């Protein structure tokens, strides 16, 4: 009896990298990557040679030199004698401040306007449509400049708050002043024992998250709905207030007071910051509203009809049935809107707000003549911010997307 053996298999040959479909795509990618790296290497080498010929070889030692200019809006300590690196950090924090505030406000406005545009009330729906079409079809730079002009021309001067014949007054028990130079709001002051209050507040936020998860699991198991809103509100405020009084009120407020020709004390939010924040938020909210509308309309109409048949009120139907399903459609384009808002903040120099483009990519670049280094650092800053936003939002998108078996 003869034995049957498998035919010998051909070994690997270099020609298979081109003619074999199993290896051809990999070969093309490797060759393309090598050509790209060679191109980048040639550009970097050529730029370094040209800079050396001009007497300014590539280097970042200029970041330790005194900046010599002031920054009007800052979150950390800074003066003109500090380094260009410190000025760049101040500008970067200003960019992050506008990005965080803008994304938060734009999300709230966008979701609200997107839902209202689908309202059965004809007037409300048409007003929301007018808002969306007006805001998103005018360049954002014009909105920023217009908002700045409104603040300068409409709000009173600090001198208008002076004396018995004052034509303007402060708000919230004389703790907030709205002027054409910006908003003056109370600034918190921390004394001994304040750390315990802050930690209690942070623990309350964690407790709210834990309670939300437990309440959701309990509802799924028993069908009983707890008054989550009121309970979360109590967890948010009550423990911190109790600890605050037990520790002897260790956190106070520094109120703005009119002294001389301007207000002193408190926290000064300049009109350039407010104008930029509101303009970017209103503009981006128009795009987010369209994303929300598209996401809601993508949910099958039978879902809302089934919820109504079960006796759910319209607001609970939107909250519990429609929006959770619509998020899978809303979030991917929402990431792009967050990125656009962050990058549009580079227009801040138009109203005199010193962000990272105005400091590192503006005054520092002009004073030092290090255009290559400044632009590389500026691009790196925006790249890291954009990738961070994308990473966080993609993680959230994974957590809400439909889980398939």
Q: Is residue 189 part of a domain?
A: no
Gap between the Cα atoms of 3 and 199, Å rounded: 79
Q: How much is the average pLDDT of 311-338? A: 85
* Residue 312, domain extent: 84-159+270-400
What residues contact residue 43 under an 8 Å CB cut-off, 6+ apart?
A: none
Q: Which residues pair with 187 in a beta bridge?
A: 254
Q: Is residue 24 part of a domain?
A: no
Q: Is residue 257 part of a domain?
A: no
Six-digit token pair at 94?
A: 């200003």
pLDDT of residue 400: 74
pLDDT of residue 403: 63
Q: How many residues does the chain have?
A: 405
Q: What is the pLDDT of residues 327-364, one digit of tens each?
A: 888 898 999 999 999 999 999 989 989 999 999 989 99
3-class state of residue 172 by DSSP: coil
pLDDT band of residue 5 (cuts 50, 70, 90) is low
Domain with residue 125: its CATH number is 1.10.3720.10
Q: Is residue 120 part of a domain?
A: yes
What residues contact residue 362 under an 8 Å CB cut-off, 6+ apart?
A: 349
Structural domains of the chain, count? 1
Six-digit token pair at 292?
A: 């929300």
With beta carbons less than 8 A apart as the criterion, state whether 208 and 236 touch: yes
3-state helix, strand, coil split of the chain in percent (to 5) is 70, 5, 25
Q: What is the pLDDT of residues 230-270, one digit of tens each?
A: 899 999 899 999 999 998 889 888 888 888 788 888 888 89
pLDDT(147) > 80? yes
Q: How much is the average pLDDT of 300-325? A: 82
Q: Is residue 173 part of a domain?
A: no
pLDDT of residue 10: 61
Q: How much is the average pLDDT of 151-157? A: 89
pLDDT(16) > 80? no
288: number of Cβ within 10 Å: 27
pLDDT of residue 7: 54
Q: Is residue 274 part of a domain?
A: yes
pLDDT of residue 8: 53
Q: Is residue 346 part of a domain?
A: yes
Q: How much is the average pLDDT of 191-219? A: 90
Between 194-222 and 228-246, two packed helices, what is the crossing angle to 10 degrees? Answer: 160
Token pair 């809006």: residue: 73
Q: Is residue 339 part of a domain?
A: yes
Question: What global pTM score does this model have?
Answer: 0.83
pLDDT band of residue 6 (cuts 50, 70, 90) is low
Gap between the Cα atoms of 164 and 405, Å rounded: 73
pLDDT of residue 337: 94
């Amino acid at each position: 009896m003869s034995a049957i053996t498998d035919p010998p298999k051909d070994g690997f040959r270099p020609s298979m990298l081109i003619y074999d479909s199993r290896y051809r795509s990999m070969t093309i990618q490797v060759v393309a990557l090598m050509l790209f790296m060679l191109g980048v290497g040639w550009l970097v080498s050529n730029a370094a040679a040209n800079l050396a010929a001009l007497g300014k070889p590539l280097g970042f030692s200029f970041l330790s030199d005194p900046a010599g200019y002031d920054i009007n809006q800052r979150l950390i300590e800074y003066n003109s004698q500090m380094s260009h690196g410190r000025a760049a950090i101040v500008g970067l924090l200003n960019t992050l401040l506008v990005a965080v505030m803008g994304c938060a406000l734009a999300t709230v406005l966008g979701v609200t306007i997107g839902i209202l545009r689908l309202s059965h009330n004809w007037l409300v729906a048409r007003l929301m449509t007018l808002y969306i079409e007006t805001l998103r079809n005018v360049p954002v730079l014009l909105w920023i400049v217009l908002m700045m002009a409104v603040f300068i021309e409409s709000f009173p001067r600090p001198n208008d708050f002076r004396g018995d014949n004052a034509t303007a007054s402060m708000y919230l028990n004389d703790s907030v002043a709205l002027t054409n130079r910006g908003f003056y709001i109370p600034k918190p002051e921390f004394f001994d024992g304040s750390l315990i209050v802050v930690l209690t507040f942070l623990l309350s936020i964690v407790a709210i998250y834990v309670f939300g998860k437990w309440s959701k699991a309990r509802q799924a198991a028993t069908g009983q709905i707890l008054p989550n809103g009121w309970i979360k509100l109590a967890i948010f405020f009550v423990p911190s207030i109790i600890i605050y009084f037990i520790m002897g009120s260790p956190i106070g407020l520094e109120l703005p007071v009119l002294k001389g020709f301007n207000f002193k004390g408190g926290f000064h939010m300049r009109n350039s910051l407010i104008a930029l924040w509101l303009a970017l938020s209103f503009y981006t909210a128009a795009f987010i509203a369209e994303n929300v509308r598209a996401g809601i309309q993508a949910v099958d109409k039978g879902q809302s009809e089934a919820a109504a048949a079960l006796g759910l009120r319209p607001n609970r139907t939107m909250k519990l049935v429609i929006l959770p399903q619509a998020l899978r459609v809303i979030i991917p384009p929402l990431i792009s809107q967050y990125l656009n808002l962050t990058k549009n903040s580079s227009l801040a120099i138009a109203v005199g707000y010193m962000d990272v483009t105005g400091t590192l990519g503006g005054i520092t670049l002009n004073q030092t003549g290090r255009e290559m280094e400044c632009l590389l650092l500026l691009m790196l800053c925006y790249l890291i911010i954009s990738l961070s936003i994308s990473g966080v939002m993609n993680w959230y998108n994974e957590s809400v997307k439909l889980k398939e078996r």
